[in-house]
Structure 1
Amino acid sequence: MDSIDELDLREAEYRIKLYEEYRGAGGVFNYYIETELRAYLANEAVVEPVTSSGGVYFKVTLTDVWIYEAERTNRFVPETIIYSVNDVHVQKLKPEGE
């Protein structure tokens, strides 16, 4: 096995661990949020369309957030604000009162 194969194998293993972490964390959060750049899990999600001279963009405020990003050392953050000119997908994971 050459070094490129070893790197590919290590990266694949890392991505599998990240996916398993995501699957484990999914049951704790209320919302799944997806933007063009990445995915998030959060307990609160507020999407505000904002009109400016350049058009419409979305301001997304998330609280109690898990960020699906391989390069982050700390994927849990208390709050994050995302600005996007593209579609933002928000899915409620749990019914009200659960």
Structure 2
Amino acid sequence: MSAEDLENYETDMELQLYREYRDVVGLFSYVVETERRFYLANHVDLRACSDNGEVYFELTLKDAWVWDVYRSARFVKTVRVVTFKDVNVEELSKSDLELPKGLEN
């Protein structure tokens, strides 16, 4: 496999992932970003924790979808994430889910 073939494969996989995201985003209530992953979820429990002066976050997501091109099953019932970086949780409103004209396809 040439470098160009590999690049084309990765581009196709990202495009398929984007299309899947576009198709499923309306099923979820929250967008969650961590340092390593992007999630859609219907339930989010975020706890800031401290241990010996170190602050970390425990995040539990239920009924979730994971943005990961290499993951074969992106829908998961429960996800538990522990991170030492900031976590961004946003509640989606239905107007956030509308694509601009021309981007529907």
> Shift of residue 54 of structure 1?
4.3
C-alpha separation between the residues in 2 aligned to 1:55 and 1:7? 41
List alignment gaps of at least 5 residues for structure 1. none
C-alpha separation between the residues in 1 aligned to 2:9 and 2:58? 36
How does 1:39-58 map onto structure 2 within 5 Å? 39-58=38-57
Dislocated runs of 4+, deviation >3 Å? none
List alignment gaps of at least 5 residues for structure 2. 95-105
Amino acid at match of 2:69: A
C-alpha separation between the residues in 2 aligned to 1:65 and 1:20? 17
In the other structure, the counterpart of 1:87 is 86
Query: Superposition RMSD on alpha carbons, in Å?
Result: 1.4
C-alpha separation between the residues in 1 aligned to 2:75 and 2:41? 10
Alignment coverage as a number of residue pairs: 94
Identity among equivalent positions (%) equals 37
TM-score normalised according to structure 1 size: 0.90
